[in-house]
Structure 1
Amino acid sequence: MKTALPNRPDWQALLKSGNRIFIGSNAAVPNALIDDLIANSGDLKDIELVQFNALSDSRWVEPQFSDLFKVNALFIGGEKVRQAVAEGRVDYTPCFLSEVPSLFEEDILPLDAAFIMVSPPDKYGYCSLGVAVDVNLAAVKKAKYVVAQINTSMPRTSGHTFIRIDDIAACIEVEQALPELPIYEPDKITERIGQYVAMLVDDGATLQLGVGKIPNAVLYYLQNHKDLGVHSELITDGIIDLIAKGVINNRKKTFHPGKTVASFCLGSKKLYDFVDNNPHVEFYPSDYLNSPANIARNHKMVAINSALEVDLTGQVVADSIGYQFYSGIGGQVDFIRGAAMSPGGKPIIAMPSTAKGGSISRIVPFITEGSGVVTSRGHVHYVVTEFGVASLKGRSIRERALELIRVAHPKFREQLLAKVREHYWVPNYQKNYPRDVPELGPLGFKTMKIDNQSFDLRPLNPADERRLQEFFYSHTKETLFYRYNHYPTQMTREKSCNLVSVDQSHDLALCIVRQQGSASEIQAVGRYYLCADNKSCEAAFVTRESFHGKGMAKQLLAEMILIAKQRGLTRMLAVVRADNRNMLRVFESAHFERQPSQEMGEVNLTLNLDKYQ
């Protein structure tokens, strides 16, 4: 038996001038309902429209409707709304997405009506909010009147998505195709960012992702992961294939296990069909799903968000470009904080290193005047660009600045370091900015297995100053004597800084590190110094005692030889104490040959790189 629908809206009976109305958000904007109000508004004036992100033509913000509507945007979506905010015709109210429902519930923004889009009622009289539960459910619960556009194209989704037809005061039945987003094809830059982010994701992690090229690239590079889960305010087309392949199965989730949970979805018709009557995907309101405490109930929660710029202390600008408000706070802080609180969680900001065709750096010495900090310097653990991963958790201001300079575009690194020095964040002996070693491949590092453990081989960089100092003090007297031919008793911060601040295009300094989350420990260091003839180099290395005899030095030396050959060098030299049998064994296994030495107790070694295979 068909459920009886409410009458069409009598706007003069439902509304008064000066009322406040909420309009449905994201892909569930009831455009036909608003058009009907505009056409039949009569003498109504000064109605405040409160909206979150709206995928719509947003015609109600146009100047010709300024007597009828005053718009208050809780998130700026679309160029028309952005322009209206810039011109002062629309207000912008910054707020966390998790807290938007409280604005209605606590009558900070009391609602006279809520305009929503829903599916037709089922045989029990329940309509579904479909693809956008987010803040819509809170508006429905608090508004004096609920007015609905019933749309046969709206999917019926699972979770907390339902409203009884009896709770709707008036409605219109108008079919409306849901707005679709284009397929964002990653470019080379976003592909590289996706690779780096995917490397931070452990098997069994739970993900939060946004929309755009970077999230799509991340999802592409997660295809070989296992047992991933999803707890995200937004889901897009990218999850469909990973669910079909079993990569996303939510098996290891510790909150809502077995379910992909979200508060809204944006994408293609394929996505909307996918969530329709799908019991494996559940939608919940934003105050529940975006609650940092609930997010943190997922172990290994990985939150991936973007930014417009990041300063060298780690402050994140995400809603404005100078004095121009661009988007909104949304759920970034909710998820960054929730992931930070999660056992094994990782809050990540991922962005290209430059903007405006590479003409400006997104990593900046100080925030652009007028811009606002969305996410504080204390929240973010990782910043990822196409040049690598900057680890910020537990890092001093100096270390943060050097880490972020390392992942900035190379053409901006020198001037960023100069700006840092103006503010005394690095000492005067910090001479060099971080440099890449392109011979290590496109990712700038290599992973390796030694003694059944995973390690990264990468360049030493200025942010390693303290780690190198710790590495020095971990050595026994015997190791120090063999490496330096005497017993050094101190590695000052200045000395350590000089050793890690290497012009990698001239000399070479590599390290092998054990990286566990934000914790990084140097296990071995190898370096060569270019000789005066510019055709030969002198090499040396040292490893942590616990890895002596495990093959670490052998792999490190092999990489140094390979890079020297690629750079066109013809000889590699080494000087080793005659009683340092272990080091001699490593060099000779790499086919170094002994040469006469004028120093007692020392062995000179030479490798002809032209003949080395």
Structure 2
Amino acid sequence: MEKQPNSPLDWGQLLKSGNRIFIGSNAAVPNALIDDLIANANQLHDIEVVHIQTISDEKWVEPQYKDLFKVNTLFIAGQKIRAAVAEGRADYTPCFLSEIPALFSSDILPLDAALVMLSPPDEYGYCSLGVSVDVVSAAIRNAKKVIAQFNPLMPRTSGHAYVHISKITASIEQAQPLPEVPAVGFEQRIERIGQYVSMLIEDGATVQIGTGKIPEAVLRYLGNHKNLGIHSELISDGIIDLMKRGVINNSQKTFHPGKTVTSFAVGSQQLYDFVNQNPHVEFYPSEYVNSPTNIARNDNMVSINSALEVDLTGQVVSDSLGYQFYSGIGGQVDFSRGASMSKGGKPIIALPSTAKNGTISRIVSTISEGSGVVTSRGHVHYVVTEYGVASLRGKSIRERALELIRVAHPKFRPALLDEVRKHYWVPNYQVMRPMDVPELGDVGLKILHIGGEAFDLRPLNPADERRLQEFFYSHTKETLLLRYNHHPKQLSREKSCSLVSVDQSRDLALCIVRQHGSVLEIQAVGRYYLIESNNSCEVAFVTRERHQGKGMATILLQEMINIARIRGISTMVAYVRAENKPMLTVFERAGFKRLRSEEPDEVNLQLQLQAEQATESME
């Protein structure tokens, strides 16, 4: 090895014109090496530069170096790279992050040299790849020459993160602070997305976190979870506090138990200090961490990635805006596929519902011309926006469209329904009405714990059509008689659709559901209908037989009373069959008073909402 810490390298001996070189990744870009090469390139020309994301000044892609370098990026990140690709001064090669190492080893992209940043060798001659093992490890193994910048500020990390000094062809030693990515501020809709995603993550799950604001927001809402694990191509500052508090302890992982597994780290100096010689965080190459087979070896694997747009069938666009390439495939497909194969796994795509200051919907009827599908409609189980969670697994095209329209921005929902009708069959009775109930709180639902089980209380929505049919046909004749005062024998698709397509800003239809992964079952339904003539509403509800007597009706009634009061409704009325003693008890415990009824087998009940509220406030 030629080591010249204070002298420029002899690049004429190390490289030839037309060579292909790899530049180290993410927070480990060897800027001093690149500066040295540029300053001492002499007669070198047409060096092909290959890399993934590089957090750097990206000097090599600047127009003045076009004769020296030809850039072929495998992931677009940074304004300079993005502009160069858009202008045709650089190429973009789409590929899965897990398969990039094979491009080097199979000579599809043979490397003449790898320019990398390492820690100085230890007493045994081993250098650490530090915070960026990813595809750097494969580049070092497969390049004809390895040219290193020894950086004493590079952390020494655990795992498969070492290379012996004998592998190094030439080197310089130059301290270089690792680039810090500042903590991001979160707007309200990003916070809301983080809340929704966190609700999909169960205790004991293993999580992959992608890049950007949304994954960081998710981490902020995991503080009350227990026994989480990490298997992720990237880790960021958000894991530090969760690991120190024991929220992330990796104790229930089924692959590398007890260890946080990653391939690169990007964040603040605090993160780089945290991973330095930390035996609880292990770094492995991308072909190992991003292998869908390895990812799937983690039970309850949750992958969280973002997108630029999602169409109404569930196709995900994440590397291009129309004909303009914006980022790359990266590890999204690797982890979506791995999570979908995992026992209890959940592949999630999370994105804001709109772009360009709310003028463009990111939920689209068809993907934009020129855009490419990165993740197929078969890979994604959930799509999350600030308006909720769309569950896609096992859903028909029509059901998927309804689920995705439900989480689109309200102002785009009617147009999306009109658009989807042009291409897919949607019945004419399917309508789009206001479906959000803000009175339920920030995330529009409440988590209930009843009899040792967890349930969600939320509004009914158009995508519940089939589930409501199943709920109806689960009832006994006795339940139907008590609820409807007769024995209906059919709930058609059209009727079910009308019952779930409620204008929730006027009437109200709530349900209690039990959802485990993509399996959803309605347990109880409560609704009221507004009577505008006297500012009252009529309320009714029904509970699945096996849950009757557990308090679900009481919970639904109290929620509807609260919402009716907030909306300024004066009175609430109900009509109950006289023999339905349990239901009468529920109403009377809530404060309803019996009124005289002309029907001997029916009891009329009434609750004064605003008057009672005023009395309570005076007390």
TM-score (normalised: structure 2): 0.96
Moved more, 536-545 or 428-437: 428-437
Deviation at 1:586, TM superposition (A): 1.9
Where does residue 345 of structure 1 map in the other structure?
A: 345
Where does residue 327 of structure 2 map in the other structure?
A: 327
Where does residue 456 of structure 1 map in the other structure?
A: 456
| Distance in 1 between residues matched to 2:267 and 2:409, nearest whole Å | 32
Where does residue 41 of structure 2 map in the other structure?
A: 41
Report the 3-state secondary structure (helix = DSSP H, G, I; strand = E; otherwise coil) of the residue aligned with 1:610.
helix
| Distance in 2 between residues matched to 1:56 and 1:158, nearest whole Å | 25
* Aligned positions, number: 611
Where does residue 527 of structure 1 map in the other structure?
A: 527
Where does residue 609 of structure 1 map in the other structure?
A: 609
Where does residue 423 of structure 1 map in the other structure?
A: 423
Deviation at 1:133, TM superposition (A): 0.6
Q: Which letter does structure 1 place at the counterpart of 2:466?
A: R
| Distance in 2 between residues matched to 1:166 and 1:343, nearest whole Å | 43
| Distance in 2 between residues matched to 1:382 and 1:130, nearest whole Å | 34
Report the 3-state secondary structure (helix = DSSP H, G, I; strand = E; otherwise coil) of the residue aligned with 2:561.
helix
Moved more, 572-581 or 108-117: 572-581
Moved more, 312-321 or 591-600: 591-600
Where does residue 500 of structure 2 map in the other structure?
A: 500
Where does residue 514 of structure 1 map in the other structure?
A: 514
Q: Is the 8 A contact 1:406 1:434 kept in 2?
A: no
Where does residue 477 of structure 2 map in the other structure?
A: 477
| Distance in 1 between residues matched to 2:122 and 2:270, nearest whole Å | 23
| Distance in 1 between residues matched to 2:292 and 2:152, nearest whole Å | 35
Moved more, 576-585 or 319-328: 576-585
Where does residue 26 of structure 1 map in the other structure?
A: 26
Q: Is the 8 A contact 2:2 2:171 kept in 1?
A: no
| Distance in 1 between residues matched to 2:591 and 2:226, nearest whole Å | 42
Deviation at 1:579, TM superposition (A): 2.2
Where does residue 300 of structure 1 map in the other structure?
A: 300
Report the 3-state secondary structure (helix = DSSP H, G, I; strand = E; otherwise coil) of the residue aligned with 1:528.
strand
Where does residue 395 of structure 2 map in the other structure?
A: 395
Report the 3-state secondary structure (helix = DSSP H, G, I; strand = E; otherwise coil) of the residue aligned with 1:215.
helix
Task: Specify every segment of 5 or more residues in structure 1 that has no aligned partner in the other structure, as ranges.
Answer: none
Deviation at 1:581, TM superposition (A): 2.2
Change (3 A) 1:434 1:505: closer
Q: Is the 8 A contact 2:2 2:170 kept in 1?
A: no
Report the 3-state secondary structure (helix = DSSP H, G, I; strand = E; otherwise coil) of the residue aligned with 2:417.
helix
Q: Is the 8 A contact 1:434 1:461 kept in 2?
A: no
Change (3 A) 1:421 1:612: farther
| Distance in 1 between residues matched to 2:572 and 2:601, nearest whole Å | 20
Report the 3-state secondary structure (helix = DSSP H, G, I; strand = E; otherwise coil) of the residue aligned with 2:511.
strand
Q: Which letter does structure 1 place at the counterpart of 2:63?
A: P
Deviation at 1:422, TM superposition (A): 2.2
Report the 3-state secondary structure (helix = DSSP H, G, I; strand = E; otherwise coil) of the residue aligned with 2:252.
coil
Deviation at 1:253, TM superposition (A): 1.1
Q: Is the 8 A contact 1:481 1:487 kept in 2?
A: yes
Where does residue 362 of structure 2 map in the other structure?
A: 362
Task: Describe the superposition over 1:463-496 as per-residue Cα deviations: whole angstroms up to 9, x where unpaired.
Answer: 0000000000000011111222222111111110
Report the 3-state secondary structure (helix = DSSP H, G, I; strand = E; otherwise coil) of the residue aligned with 2:178.
coil
The percentage of aligned residue pairs carrying the same residue is 71
Where does residue 128 of structure 1 map in the other structure?
A: 128
Change (3 A) 1:397 1:534: farther
Where does residue 243 of structure 2 map in the other structure?
A: 243
| Distance in 1 between residues matched to 2:161 and 2:594, nearest whole Å | 77
| Distance in 1 between residues matched to 2:445 and 2:562, nearest whole Å | 14
Q: Which letter does structure 1 place at the counterpart of 2:287?
A: D
Q: Is the 8 A contact 2:75 2:327 kept in 1?
A: yes
| Distance in 2 between residues matched to 1:610 and 1:26, nearest whole Å | 60
Where does residue 563 of structure 2 map in the other structure?
A: 563
Q: Is the 8 A contact 2:574 2:605 kept in 1?
A: yes
Q: Is the 8 A contact 1:49 1:70 kept in 2?
A: yes
| Distance in 2 between residues matched to 1:248 and 1:532, nearest whole Å | 52
| Distance in 2 between residues matched to 1:324 and 1:113, nearest whole Å | 30
Q: Is the 8 A contact 1:405 1:433 kept in 2?
A: no
Q: Which letter does structure 2 place at the counterpart of 1:280?
A: H
Task: Describe the superposition over 1:167-221 as per-residue Cα deviations: whole angstroms up to 9, x where unpaired.
Answer: 1111111111111111112221111111111111111111111233222221111
Any residues of structure 2 matched to 1:236-315 within 5 Å, and which? 236-315=236-315
Deviation at 1:81, TM superposition (A): 0.3
Task: Describe the superposition over 1:95-119 as per-residue Cα deviations: whole angstroms up to 9, x where unpaired.
Answer: 0000000000111101111111111
Asked if 1:549 corresponds to 2:549, the answer is: yes
Q: Is the 8 A contact 1:82 1:326 kept in 2?
A: yes
Report the 3-state secondary structure (helix = DSSP H, G, I; strand = E; otherwise coil) of the residue aligned with 1:533.
helix
Deviation at 1:600, TM superposition (A): 4.3
Where does residue 596 of structure 1 map in the other structure?
A: 596
Change (3 A) 1:220 1:390: same
Moved more, 270-279 or 580-589: 580-589
Q: Is the 8 A contact 2:227 2:248 kept in 1?
A: yes
Moved more, 8-17 or 184-193: 8-17
Deviation at 1:610, TM superposition (A): 2.6
Where does residue 226 of structure 2 map in the other structure?
A: 226
Moved more, 121-130 or 36-45: 36-45
Where does residue 211 of structure 2 map in the other structure?
A: 211
| Distance in 2 between residues matched to 1:247 and 1:553, nearest whole Å | 35
Where does residue 149 of structure 1 map in the other structure?
A: 149
Deviation at 1:6, TM superposition (A): 6.8
Change (3 A) 1:307 1:534: farther
| Distance in 2 between residues matched to 1:499 and 1:444, nearest whole Å | 19
Deviation at 1:434, TM superposition (A): 5.3
Task: Specify every segment of 5 or more residues in structure 2 that has no aligned partner in the other structure, as ranges.
Answer: 614-619
